[in-house]
Structure 1
Amino acid sequence: MEYIDVAVIGGGQSGLATAHSLLRVGLRPVILEASEQAAGSWPRYYDSLTLFSPARYSALPGLPFGGDPDRYPHRDEVVAYLVRYAERLDADIRTRSRVTAARAAGDGFALDLEGGQRLGARAVVTASGGFGRPNRPTLPGLDTFAGALLHVSEYRTPEPHEGQRVVVVGAGNSAVQVAAELAQVARVSLASRAPVRWFPQRPLGRDLHYWLTVTGLDAAPLGRFQRRPATMAVIDDGRYRASLAAGRPDRRPMFTRVDGPTVTWDDGTKEEVDAIILATGYRPDLGYLTPLGILDGSGRPRHRNGASLTHPHLVHVGLEWQRSLSSASLRGVGRDAERAARRIARQLRRS
């Protein structure tokens, strides 16, 4: 079995930022990435996805995003940026290396990889799986739906739904973005338990992320006060709110039941629907940590600000609300990565 100092599980934005910080403190990380390239989940998001943060606030440590700093980068720009970041990073990145189990082994860990390979590591950073499992809520009769039932993770473009009757479930950024896009080619309703909440993208003429930065709110250590993420307001420059106001899409309270192809709305009316798209978020997919016994009942690791509460050489990076509002974002993960690297360096020097 091969032995290494630090294994970073995941080669997306969290893993790359952590590897950068580990190199800066004199450690030689090995990044274990399950897919064919170090770009995380970004290549699998819907085609029209655009960041809400400008390029100047969307870079990882050590490499500016490039181009107009005030533009809002497209999904493909983010993928290209992460690939470029990985290429410039002097780290051992092993693609097609999916970790299936992490086990305690003495003062360190043994990692089982898909295909039967095993690695020993003195320390482990988990930087993958925080958003790996699409959340599919249990709604009355949804399992009987006769049309196309998708999670937003499976949605790519509106063309397959042209001319259809579509219901998008959710009230967050992705739900509103996808529903407004689909409404250009289909009849669409946005169904949610609560009304959409809005937040302007440019309050007082400056981008929201400018204000989050200058006030310090973006980096404030609020994680310990926020066990579960609050329902986030939709960040909008006015376009999406106008679309809903015009009824493209319309917004309705959550339907009460599904029977085959028929949806029953809260006022008792029924109609046939061609497709239901669940824009209902994600849950952690950290099953590879099960042998360590560190996951709570919802599948989240027990930690404080990313540091494991049970295993001193184990840290997490990229979890939602791990330490701050921006912990799981391109703009904020570098701060948590730096803290994780310093912690690991201190612990390995002591052992």
Structure 2
Amino acid sequence: MTSVDIVVIGGGQAGLATAHTAMRRGLRPLVLDASARPGGSWPSYYDSLTLFSPARFSALPGMPFPGDPERYPLRDEVVGYLTAYTARLDAEIRFGCRVERVTAEGGVHTITMADGSVARAPLVVAASGGFGSPARPALPGLDSFRGRVLHAARYRNPDGFAGERVVVVGGGNSAVQIAVELARTATVSLTTRGPLRFQAQRVLGRDFHWWLTRTGLDTAWLGPRLAPNTVPVIDDGRYRAAIRAGRPDHRPMFERLDGDRVVWSDGASERVDVVLLATGYRPDLPYLADSGGLDAHGRPAHAGGLSTTVPGLGFVGLERQRSLASATLRGVGRDAVHVLDGLVSRRGRRAVARMTR
């Protein structure tokens, strides 16, 4: 049995930012991560993934992103950065440690791991992201489709797709980036329910994120009803040009899948080899099923990352948790500060220390 001030579940960007913030507030964190190595979900993303924000806006608290601050880091650079950040963080981090269950009694949380080990802490922060829970929309005919169905979480590169007919579902940054990449070797259609929204990567000589930071929009809480349902595709001009050239083409959402065929909204039908779902993720929180921290739909019950149902429970890294940047490298640090300060103020620093001594 291990007793600490706070258990952080997840060792990716959200978990690291939370552990750093906890230590700055005099708390002893224990970070538990199911992965075998540092980097969170980043090593599992597709090979060509490139950040849409410059390095200067893509750092966790306490450690700038190295190199040219105006460049757009590649996936492997982010993995290297998170690995170095992990090594610098003077906290206990256990890799290959999957959390199975979190329960609370008497103001103390009991965290049970898959290997049978147990930790206890008055504070718990769920920072496990959503990569382990890809969103699969209820599309007509998808479950009986005879071709290959692949989520973006399992896509790595165009190898193995040459000459195939591919339909990419989704209109976000990853959907467009993957569709354009695949279209170099395959016949690809990008399909969405609404129009694609593009945002110029640079405006008046400045990166788009510089303007977001300057105006305060990057940290503004828009509220769930005011936040747009889709995010714009950050584009330096290449993606819009590729789609205008039909590589890939962009079509309205299909009517249905029928066997190994897709039926488009105009009634046309054709054979398809692959349906690739770039449809996002849901919070990956199965370990909270018995905690009381999830609502009837399995979603975290929270206000700005602080649980509204379980004292001492917080969340960091949720999509639009407090702002449009909440699930990004540039946003998790701010949310970690908000959540840690809220948790400590509710419990009291001395009370937290007393529970673990």
Query: What's the TM-score bracket when you normalise by the shorter of the two chains?
Result: over 0.9
The residue number in structure 2 matching 1:244 is 243
What's the offset of the Cα at 1:203?
1.5
Structure-2 separation of matches of 1:297 and 1:163: 44
TM-score, normalized by length of structure 2? 0.95
What's the offset of the Cα at 1:227?
8.1
SS, match of residue 283 in structure 1: coil
Structure-2 separation of matches of 1:281 and 1:298: 17
Structure-2 separation of matches of 1:19 and 1:139: 39
Structure-2 separation of matches of 1:287 and 1:200: 38
The residue number in structure 1 matching 2:234 is 235
Structure-2 separation of matches of 1:94 and 1:284: 21
The residue number in structure 1 matching 2:170 is 170
Residues 111-135 of structure 1 show CA distances to partners (whole Å, capped at 9, x for unaligned) of 1101211111121111114453111
The residue number in structure 2 matching 1:6 is 6
The residue number in structure 1 matching 2:86 is 86
The residue number in structure 2 matching 1:269 is 268
Tell whether 2:319 aligns with 1:335: no
**Cα contact 2:318–2:327 (8 A) shared by 1:** yes
Structure-2 separation of matches of 1:297 and 1:242: 44
TM-score, normalized by length of structure 1? 0.96
Q: Which amino acid aligns with 1:298?
A: H
The residue number in structure 1 matching 2:312 is 313
Tell whether 2:301 aligns with 1:302: yes
Structure-2 separation of matches of 1:262 and 1:243: 25
What's the offset of the Cα at 1:2?
2.1
SS, match of residue 43 in structure 2: helix
What's the offset of the Cα at 1:228?
7.1
**Cα contact 1:129–1:284 (8 A) shared by 2:** yes
SS, match of residue 30 in structure 1: strand
Q: Which amino acid aligns with 1:246?
A: A
Q: Which amino acid aligns with 2:237?
A: G
Identity among equivalent positions (%) equals: 59
The residue number in structure 2 matching 1:30 is 30
Residues 69-95 of structure 1 show CA distances to partners (whole Å, capped at 9, x for unaligned) of 000000010011000000000000011
**Cα contact 2:326–2:332 (8 A) shared by 1:** yes
Relative to structure 2, which stretch is displaced further, 114-123 or 235-244? 114-123
SS, match of residue 160 in structure 1: coil
Structure-2 separation of matches of 1:277 and 1:227: 29
The residue number in structure 2 matching 1:18 is 18
Q: 1:227 to 1:294 in 2, by over 3 A?
A: farther
Q: Which amino acid aligns with 1:299?
A: G
**Cα contact 2:131–2:153 (8 A) shared by 1:** no
Q: 1:155 to 1:184 in 2, by over 3 A?
A: same
Structure-2 separation of matches of 1:232 and 1:349: 39
Q: Which amino acid aligns with 1:232?
A: V
Relative to structure 2, which stretch is displaced further, 41-50 or 128-137? 128-137
SS, match of residue 326 in structure 2: coil
Structure-1 separation of matches of 2:113 and 2:315: 19
Structure-1 separation of matches of 2:348 and 2:15: 19
SS, match of residue 167 in structure 1: strand
- How many correspondences in the alignment? 350
TM alignment of 1:60-79, pairs within 5 A: 60-79=60-79
TM alignment of 1:154-233, pairs within 5 A: 154-222=154-222, 224-226=223-225, 230-233=229-232
Q: 1:203 to 1:131 in 2, by over 3 A?
A: same
Structure-2 separation of matches of 1:80 and 1:116: 31
Structure-1 separation of matches of 2:226 and 2:196: 22
Q: Which amino acid aligns with 2:78?
A: V
Structure-2 separation of matches of 1:76 and 1:5: 33
Q: Which amino acid aligns with 1:293?
A: G
What's the offset of the Cα at 1:38?
2.6
What's the offset of the Cα at 1:341?
2.4
Q: Which amino acid aligns with 2:330?
A: R
**Cα contact 2:14–2:129 (8 A) shared by 1:** no
What's the offset of the Cα at 1:57?
0.3
